[in-house]
Amino acid sequence: MNYECGKVDIEELLACSLNLKKSEFKIFKLLFKEEPALTAIELSEKLSLDRTTVQKILKKFLENHLVQRFQENLDNGGYLFRYKVKDKQDIKKHIRLILSNWYSKGNEMIEKL
């Protein structure tokens, strides 16, 4: 959206509502859209990010209950972890609530002018 004072980036608002940085939001957005679950390597390749950076961000997502991790056992032994967004509807509801609160607070400020 463009305004007299500049451009408001909707993705930045969404990232802010989830307390995510830009690079974190890129990963989150891809996980939100993609099915089936993705590995850290797949995410790093699709987004041209370092694998260790992706792994650190995925760890943060797990700690904040934004994603689920699944273990995929490989035929030749070993395993991979796959990640997907935990509950898309709950996350959408949370974002809508945050944006609604911002809107209400903005209206309150306007009324005080």
> What CATH number did the domain enclosing 104 receive?
1.10.10.10
If you write DSSP's letter for every residue of the chain in order, what string do you get? Answer: -EETTEE--HHHHHHHHTT--HHHHHHHHHHHH-SS-B-HHHHHHHHT--HHHHHHHHHHHHHTTSEEEEEEE-TTS-EEEEEEES-HHHHHHHHHHHHHHHHHHHHHHHHH-
Between 7 and 27, the more confident residue is 27
**Which residues span the domain enclosing 98?**
2-112
* pLDDT score for 16: 86
Task: Give the pLDDT score at 3.
Answer: 61
What is the tens place of the pLDDT at every residue in 30-83?
A: 999 877 899 999 999 999 999 999 999 999 999 999 999 999 999 999 999 999
Mean pLDDT of the chain: 90
pLDDT in the model for residue 39: 95
How many domains is the chain partitioned into structurally? 1
What is the predicted pLDDT for the residue at 17? 86
